[in-house]
C-alpha cells in the first residue's frame, strides 16, 4: 500500500494490498483500491473474545 497525505493509521485498520490511501481512515475500517476507499468496518474484540479465540487455536511444538 502507498500512503499519500495520510497523517495517521488508527488501531484495527485493514488496508488492501496495492492500495493507495489518500484519506485518514477511522479506527477498525477496511480500505482497498486505487485510490483506496472504505469498503467495510470491523468491530474491536473484547478481552473475552480474544481469550476464546486463543483457546481454540492449537499450537504444536516441533
Q: Which fold has domain 2-56?
A: UDP N-Acetylglucosamine Acyltransferase; domain 1 (2.160.10)
Reported as a single tens digit per residue, the pLDDT across 16-25 is 999 999 999 9
CA 45 from chain centre, in angstroms, equals 12
Domain edges within the chain: 2-56
CA–CA gap between residue 25 and residue 38 (Å, rounded): 8
Environment class of 31 (CB within 10 Å of its CB; exposed 0-12, middle 13-18, buried 19+): buried
Percentage of the residues of the chain whose pLDDT score is greater than 90: 61
Amino acid at each position: 500500500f502507498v500512503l499519500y497525505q495520510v497523517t495517521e493509521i488508527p488501531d484495527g485498520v485493514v488496508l488492501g494490498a496495492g492500495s493507495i490511501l489518500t484519506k485518514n481512515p477511522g479506527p477498525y475500517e477496511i480500505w482497498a483500491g486505487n485510490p483506496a476507499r472504505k469498503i467495510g468496518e470491523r468491530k474491536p474484540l473484547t478481552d473475552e473474545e480474544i481469550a476464546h479465540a486463543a483457546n481454540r487455536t492449537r499450537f504444536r511444538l516441533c
